[in-house]
Amino acid sequence: MDRLLVERGRTCAIANILALFSIGAGLVLAPCAFAQTFPSKPIRLVTAGAPGSVPDTVARPLAEKLAAEFQHPVVVENRPGAGGIVAMNLVAKARPDGYTLGLVSIAQMVFNLYLFDNLSYDPVHELTPVIKLVAGQAVVAAHPSFPADSVGGLIALVKAQPGTIHYAVPQLGAPPHIFALMLSHEAQIDMVAVPFRGAHEALASVVAGNVPVLFDASLIIAPHVKAGKLKALAVTGRERDRLLPGTPTLAESGLPNVHGEAWIGLAAPANLSPATISKINDAVSRALRAPDLRQHYEDQGWQIVGGSSTDFASAIRADHAIWGRIIRESGLKLN
């Protein structure tokens, strides 16, 4: 194998020299054979989630599928901390050669730009969208004793008692919190966010009746709705959630233009070659069609998305237009 690579390199070098001296060839160089060998070594997949977290449960089965596709290991590297900033810094500053990829979320690619005045990475110019993997929605839920049984009832209650109804979120600036801000903005209501250090603490507080309302992912909330410990008022997506099929969307609840979905995708450092982006996108697309991976993601409450890198970039631009306005108008900052 080493001898083959050397021979390919020698052929590439000779071709480039001949091109330089050919009449009319200008400075057009022959494509180097090494560019066609990607990948030729292990790839690292950086995620902001700790082992066992939701991002980690997305990353690891995907890494196994990609390792089989590429015939090289894909190593998940957990870099939790600072709302994903630690992980994103690592990806943004890596060499744009395809050997460092980032598992990115809507928070890291969109929300953080508006939540932090001096963000240490630029999600627009330092990261290249590769493919959107999965999307999922949040649920508006409440303790069974809460007087409202619908989002319409919640809105009426808050309007009657502005600034007195509290809702739990896993942390400030996370998708459930931003979706709650969206609902508050569009319904013109004043609710009070109560942030926790994670989803399980927020959930426990509402199940115990300490905070009346909860915004979080359907995977977190659905089992407790089925057990009668919570009641689901609405889901934030465009369609009903397969884990809570009896729960209406916000549109069905009288808010036709209000919807929000979190997503997770793959990104790479800026200036990654289009050929490498395409090769990674193709491999991931094949992985997402595997029945066992699809089932795993659906069991976690995700919807498979996929699509081209151009599709992903376009969706991110649309998200900036929507969520940038919501966050700016809310005045929320996490500096």
**pLDDT tens across 257-313, in order?**
899 999 999 999 999 999 999 999 999 999 999 999 999 999 999 999 999 999 999
- Looking at residue 121, its pLDDT comes to 97
Intervals of the chain under pLDDT 50:
1-35
In Å, how far are 142, 188, 208, 296 from 147, measured between CA atoms? 9, 20, 16, 36
Tokens 């990948």 identify what position?
Answer: 39
What does 66-96 look like in DSSP terms, one character per residue? Answer: HHHHHTS-EEEEE---GGGHHHHHHHHTS-S
Query: d(Cα 313, Cα 311) in Å, to the nearest integer?
Result: 6
DSSP state of 210: S
Annotated domain spans of the chain: 1-37, 39-135+266-330, 137-235
| Domain 39-135+266-330 in this protein, CATH class | alpha beta
Q: Terminus-to-terminus CA distance in the chain, angstroms?
A: 51
Q: What are phi and psi of 115, to 5 degrees?
A: -90, -25
Query: d(Cα 95, Cα 29) in Å, to the nearest integer?
Result: 23
Report the DSSP beta bridge partners of residue 304: 134
What lies within 8 Å, CB to CB, of 8 at 6+ separation is: 33, 34
- Looking at residue 36, its pLDDT comes to 63
Q: Do domains 39-135+266-330 and 137-235 have the same CATH topology?
A: yes
- Looking at residue 81, its pLDDT comes to 84
Structure tokens at 74: 């894909």
Decide if 27 contacts 20 (C-beta within 8 A): yes
Out of 3.30.200.20, 3.40.190.10, 3.30.1330.40, 3.40.50.720, select the CATH number for domain 137-235.
3.40.190.10
> What is the value of pTM for the model shown?
0.87
Selection from 110, 134, 132, 136 nearest residue 58 by Cα: 134
Number of H helices, E strands in the chain: 12, 10
